[in-house]
């Protein structure tokens, strides 16, 4: 069991706390918010019986030095770099919600500082840790030569109507790392990075409202094939992935953060549909926290290197887009 501090009090934290507090691998010792979120922090602390709560991050780091194994950062995207660097400097392992940072150079600095301090820093992006992704990569040759890939993560935001009516939300503030690409498209980018590596060129065509991308299409040019990624917060469609090749295609119909649907391969030559994975009866975040717990316990340097390499590739693809 590892002892963790959860930093943040927004929707993601409220979704993750019932999962984390039920996991035998995890012991949530601390919840940290801000003075502005003090009431929410207090309510969540009481609801999930969390021993300690703070409304000042620096105070928490100072008080908890040597008491915790991991800081889980589930804060607004634009805060990830500063908060992660403070935690690493204080000697904590850190698990940083996606997107890792807003700049490629910041991601490099986080991993470099973590290595210098002898701690682990990884991106908390759940599909990176799902078995279905590993199976898909292992079985990819079944499709023959890849010709076309479609990745769609469209989710009508619960805040979109109010945003359109003029209300302000951080998730629709581009300066703070809001928008469809960084919120949803990052999952698609990680899948492409994991399966295919770095593209020759990346293009992004966003739909902009009030200076933020509410939806958009990214095209990743891999020379011999193209990956088309759709991410949307202003509409919802048929989520999932389709990978088409000369010998057949892979299909999965679910949001690309959970990917909890059968992974099907259709063999063009035989006409057979082969089920490669079945849905898993657990929350999408369970696998990533189970794995970070294992990595810390076993000090699995090889897995840390692999996960960091993929995160840097995804950040590079984000930042190089035309």
User: Residue 150: how many CB atoms within 10 A of its CB?
Assistant: 17
Q: Does one domain contain both 113 and 177? A: no
- 147-158 average pLDDT score: 97
* Among candidate residues 194, 199, 196, 188, the one with its CA nearest the CA of residue 133: 194
301 in a structural domain: no
pTM here is 0.95
**Which tokens is 20 given?**
């984390």
Final residue of a structural domain among 68, 90, 125: 125
- CATH code of the domain containing 266: 3.30.360.10
What's the pLDDT band for 322 if we cut at 50, 70, 90? confident
What's the pLDDT band for 129 if we cut at 50, 70, 90? very high
Q: Does one domain contain both 139 and 260? A: yes
In the predicted structure, residue 272 carries a pLDDT above the cut 80: yes
Q: Does one domain contain both 110 and 152? A: no
Higher pLDDT, 172 or 320: 172
Q: Does one domain contain both 120 and 31? A: yes
312 in a structural domain: no
Q: What domain range includes position 73?
A: 2-125
Q: Is-contact 44 31, C-beta < 8 A? A: yes
Q: Does one domain contain both 166 and 88? A: no
Q: Does one domain contain both 135 and 113? A: no
- 93-121 average pLDDT score: 97
In the predicted structure, residue 308 carries a pLDDT above the cut 90: yes
Final residue of a structural domain among 125, 155, 189: 125
Query: How many folded domains does the chain comprise?
Result: 2
Give the whole-angstrom CA distance, residue 244 versus residue 267.
11
* Among candidate residues 194, 191, 182, 208, the one with its CA nearest the CA of residue 321: 182
3-state secondary structure of 184: helix
- Mean pLDDT of all residues belonging to the chain: 97
Q: Does one domain contain both 121 and 136? A: no
- 280-294 average pLDDT score: 96
- CATH code of the domain containing 52: 3.40.50.720
In the predicted structure, residue 292 carries a pLDDT above the cut 80: yes
């Amino acid at each position: 069991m590892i002892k963790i501090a959860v930093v943040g009090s927004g929707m993601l934290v409220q979704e993750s706390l019932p999962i984390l507090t039920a996991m035998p691998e995890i012991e949530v010792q601390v919840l940290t918010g801000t003075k502005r979120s003090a009431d929410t922090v207090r309510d969540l602390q009481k609801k999930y019986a969390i021993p300690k709560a703070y409304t000042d991050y620096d105070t928490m780091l100072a008080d908890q030095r040597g008491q915790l194994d991991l800081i889980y950062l589930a804060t607004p995207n634009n805060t990830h770099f500063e908060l992660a660097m403070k935690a690493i400097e204080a000697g904590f392992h850190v698990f940083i919600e996606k997107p890792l940072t807003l700049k490629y150079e910041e991601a490099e600095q986080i991993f470099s500082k973590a290595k210098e301090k002898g701690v682990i820093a990884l991106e908390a992006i759940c599909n990176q840790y799902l078995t279905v992704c590993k199976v898909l990569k292992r079985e990819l040759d079944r499709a023959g030569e890849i010709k076309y890939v479609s990745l769609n993560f469209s989710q009508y935001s619960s805040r979109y109507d109010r945003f359109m009516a003029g209300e302000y939300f951080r998730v629709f503030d581009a300066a703070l790392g809001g928008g469809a690409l960084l919120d949803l498209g990052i999952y698609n980018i990680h899948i492409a990075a994991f399966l295919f590596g770095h593209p020759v060129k990346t293009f992004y065509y966003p739909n902009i409202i009030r200076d933020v991308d509410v939806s958009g299409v990214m095209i990743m040019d891999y020379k011999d094939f193209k990956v088309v990624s759709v991410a949307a917060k202003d509409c919802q469609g048929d989520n999932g992935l389709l990978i088409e090749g000369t010998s057949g295609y892979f299909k999965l119909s679910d949001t690309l953060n959970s990917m909890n649907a059968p992974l099907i391969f259709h063999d063009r030559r035989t006409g057979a549909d082969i089920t490669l994975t079945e849905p898993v009866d657990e929350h999408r975040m369970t696998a990533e926290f189970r794995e970070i717990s294992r990595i810390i316990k076993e000090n699995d340097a090889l897995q840390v290197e692999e996960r960091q390499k993929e995160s840097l590739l995804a950040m590079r693809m984000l930042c190089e887009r035309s």
